[in-house]
A and B are shown apart, each in its own frame.
Chain A
């Protein structure tokens, strides 16, 4: 978990705990993500990967622990309107990409991208659409601007979702299994866009089952199991010399087939 000296890390998670009823999903998570660092979170399903990611932009509330974004605390004990304002201000700095894309089906691709800049950043329609066009070009589908999500392939939809998040000019991007709902032939086009983002220096946390991507792109691989980060290592070390038995077992299963 490299961190440029003298700078605050982009994300700091300390002692994060979360239970759904009797099920403890996060059992004391510590994670530091430096500026421009790319962390891939891997692990078996039900290990708490998605919950951790969602807690970072407060789609899940923690039972205990704290999360800081660029030095500012995410989970503050505020209530009502004050809390909403605080959380919204933070969320505007965090881009989130979901497994199921979650595009707005009633809006054109361009308006999917332009909505948040207009509402949350106060741009007028023209500025917002210009911004949207810029980011559609970045994900290589400017020609789809006038279409509706249902008219696009899964890979195109996910790239629109990435562009939509980028339109808010976030400090960090969170990816929650971004390629798990895609047909195999469409995975690459999404991963390519993510690689370009990484090369541009974006800070990213990616929950993924794409071991190739994790190995090639991530600076750190965090292996989660049963609500804990069991190992966090650079990929070269993780794939060759994972120390724990659970990580080795997981790797043998996932790389075996």
Chain B
């Protein structure tokens, strides 16, 4: 424990002053003490035992829900983000303000509050009842669309003015210009950022556990209540997300290569 807490103390002393550093040292040594005496019980998630195997199967059974909800969310929120971005590019101030208001309000709402509002608020206020899955999906879509809209806006604005002029000079109307010339180029540029958002959605889907969607996190919560091994189970959960995110990263990279190959000189 010694080295780590000493290093932490040094860092603390350097940055936050003596009195606070003292508190930090105390806290660190207490935490260090705990971790030192904790005995891990990895057997709960080891596939070599029958119990471990069935636990793993239980945890992994949430995978389908996580994947399904993430894919649905990104498939809808990305086009929605584009639709929200377009008025943000208008010359007219009032049309632009549609985009600003949507983006500023939506992205300032904590995603948890938004989800509780959709799932528990709408039935009371409007008599609309959604399943937990649908509520969660709506929440992810709405929340993500505000961020995606900003990404699209930045991407579209980064396209050279000459591209707009060339398309306009050929007599293309606004829709054709955006669809065939501007947006395809913008998407190539913002692909890494969109990939980032997809990763964000996958991880954020974990809060759907709160309204009772049986995705990965909910499964982990459930298992924790029957087998009291939260550290091991949540570590396994983190690994599940890690694998998902790595798969997405690889996919986005492939897509980037595939889309840029035609522009290479």
Contacts and interface: CB of A to CB of B under 8 A. Distances in A.
Interface in B132-183: 160, 162-163, 165-174, 176, 180-181
Nearest to A119: B176
B184 interface: yes
Given A59-B168, A150-B265, A105 B162 contact: no
B188 A106 contact: yes
Contacts of B172: 88, 115-116, 119-120
B95 to A, nearest CB: 12
A161 B163 CA distance: 12
Contact of A84 (B160, B170, B174, B188): B174
Contacts of A103: 166
A91 B263 CA distance: 28
A165 B263 contact: no
A168 B168 CA distance: 13
Contacts of A120: 170-173, 176
Interface in A77-113: 84-85, 88-89, 91-92, 94-96, 98, 100, 102-106, 108
A172 B186 CA distance: 32
A239 interface: no
A129 interface: no
B254 interface: no
- Chain A CB count within 10 A is highest, among B166, B176, B264, for B166
Contacts of B168: 59, 91
B173 A84 contact: yes
B185 interface: yes
Contacts of B171: 88-89, 91-92, 116, 120, 168
Nearest to B182: A104
Contacts of B263: 105-106, 148, 150
Contact of B169 (A59, A84, A119): A59
Contact of A98 (B166, B188, B264): B166
Interface of B: 160, 162-163, 165-174, 176, 180-181, 184-185, 188, 262-265
17 contacts: A59-B169, A84-B174, A91-B171, A95-B169, A96-B165, A98-B166, A100-B162, A102-B165, A102-B166, A103-B166, A104-B167, A106-B184, A106-B263, A150-B264, A150-B265, A168-B170, A168-B171
Given A94-B169, A151-B264, 12 more contacts: A57-B169, A91-B170, A96-B166, A100-B162, A104-B181, A105-B263, A106-B185, A115-B172, A119-B172, A120-B172, A120-B176, A168-B170
